[in-house]
Amino acid sequence: MRKQVSRSHAQAMGLCLLLAAGAAVSCAGEAPGPASAATPIPDMTCQPVPANHSPLPPRRWNDCVGAFTFQNGNSYRGEFHHGKRDGFGVLAIRAIGASDYNDIEWDEPALYIGDFGSGRLNGYGLLIGKSGAAYAGTFKDNIAQLDLVRKECRGEVSADWTDCIGTYRFPDGNVYRGEFAHGLPDGMGMLQVKAMGTSDATQVRLPMPGAYVGEFKKGKLSAQGAVVMSSGGYFGRFSDNRFRPGRPDSPLRGARAGPAGAAGASDK
């Protein structure tokens, strides 16, 4: 019965589940199995920005994955469509203050992990502050909506980590920040990947260090997401940690709010 399970055992079980999802060793201490055959992955990297570029991403960045640092210090990694942040991405927020239609700011340095539309925070996302405060909810035109709630995970990682936002560092160097359910990454999140190689159903690896931002299910890359590496990237559908070509549009994309964005907006 649950009441008879010790706290240390519960923590060990939660850790075991996490390791099965993405660490370099299995729960039983066995060596990982051979990697599956590599799935052909398209090169969806945004083209390099010319030296005399404007303070905004170029409009020719369409249906691609890239990184861009804005004039206010905020830096973005993720999907671009028609020169705007659009799709899944992560924004390192360094601008301090209150967000409005044109600017994204917070009361402390923070990470936003989630959905973008028309260059702005539009849809579901997480805000994780430098202090450890973590929030989840809906955003519209950069503004947090009434459903934004604080929900950081408490204590050591365990099966009790459910409906909360936490951080876990895997033995292979990968670091996950995002939502958990029953001790597993589940929901919206970002996995910084240092393990190199080919992903399989038990491990997440990339050809070079990078990050996956998007949806997780039972500890694995699942549904929609984007991968951004120092040289290369792609977005689409994932299942059992693997990229699956030919994805349909994300259901989140159709649900995003926000207008197309007025010309001349600072889009920071």
Claim to verify: residue 206 and residue 124 sit in the same structural domain: no
The residues near 197 (Cβ < 8 Å, ≥ 6 apart) are 35, 203, 205, 206, 207
Lowest mean pLDDT of 47-56, 68-77, 98-107, 252-261, name the range: 252-261
More confident residue, 50 or 15: 50
Claim to verify: residue 232 and residue 211 sit in the same structural domain: yes
Claim to verify: residue 237 and residue 189 sit in the same structural domain: yes
Claim to verify: residue 220 and residue 137 sit in the same structural domain: no
The answer to whether the beta carbons of residues 123 and 116 sit under 8 Å apart is: yes
Count of alpha carbons within 13 Å of 26, Cβ hemisphere only?
A: 9
Does any domain span residue 235?
Answer: yes
Claim to verify: residue 225 and residue 137 sit in the same structural domain: no
User: Which residue is associated with the tokens 């923070």?
Assistant: 110
Claim to verify: residue 138 and residue 203 sit in the same structural domain: no
Claim to verify: residue 101 and residue 176 sit in the same structural domain: no
More confident residue, 3 or 266: 266
Please give the pLDDT value at position 268.
Answer: 66
Q: Which domain holds residue 111?
A: 64-150
CA proximity to 89, closest of 253, 265, 208, 266: 253
Please give the pLDDT value at position 55.
Answer: 87
Count of alpha carbons within 13 Å of 137, Cβ hemisphere only?
A: 15
| Total domains, the chain | 2
pTM score over 0.95: no
CA proximity to 226, closest of 125, 88, 21, 29: 88
Domain termination residue (choose one: 131, 150, 169)? 150
Please give the pLDDT value at position 165.
Answer: 98
Lowest mean pLDDT of 20-24, 126-130, 145-149, name the range: 20-24
The answer to whether the beta carbons of residues 21 and 157 sit under 8 Å apart is: no
**Does 35 have pLDDT greater than 50?**
no
**Does 8 have pLDDT greater than 90?**
no
- CB count within 10 Å of CB 19 equals 22
Q: What percent of the chain has pLDDT over 90?
A: 70
The answer to whether the beta carbons of residues 65 and 45 sit under 8 Å apart is: yes
Claim to verify: residue 144 and residue 132 sit in the same structural domain: yes
More confident residue, 230 or 105: 105
Please give the pLDDT value at position 246.
Answer: 65
Does any domain span residue 33?
Answer: no
In angstroms, rounded to a whole number, what is the distance separating the alpha carbons of residues 193 and 175? 7
Claim to verify: residue 68 and residue 145 sit in the same structural domain: yes
Q: What percent of the chain has pLDDT over 70?
A: 77
Please give the pLDDT value at position 207.
Answer: 92
The residue type of 43 is D
Please give the pLDDT value at position 164.
Answer: 98
Please give the pLDDT value at position 118.
Answer: 96
The residue type of 213 is V
Does any domain span residue 223?
Answer: yes
Average pLDDT estimate for 85-100 = 97
Claim to verify: residue 156 and residue 236 sit in the same structural domain: yes
Claim to verify: residue 95 and residue 139 sit in the same structural domain: yes
**Does 251 have pLDDT greater than 50?**
no
Claim to verify: residue 181 and residue 241 sit in the same structural domain: yes
Please give the pLDDT value at position 208.
Answer: 93
The answer to whether the beta carbons of residues 221 and 204 sit under 8 Å apart is: yes
Domain termination residue (choose one: 90, 118, 150)? 150
The answer to whether the beta carbons of residues 86 and 119 sit under 8 Å apart is: yes
How far, in whole angstroms, is CA 202 from its chain's centroid? Answer: 19
Chain segment 53-81, per-residue pLDDT in tens: 788 999 999 999 999 999 999 999 999 99
Average pLDDT estimate for 94-106 = 97
Chain segment 184-226, per-residue pLDDT in tens: 999 999 999 999 999 999 999 999 999 999 999 999 999 999 9
Mean pLDDT of the chain: 82
User: Which residue is associated with the tokens 């995003």?
Assistant: 256
Domain termination residue (choose one: 150, 182, 216)? 150
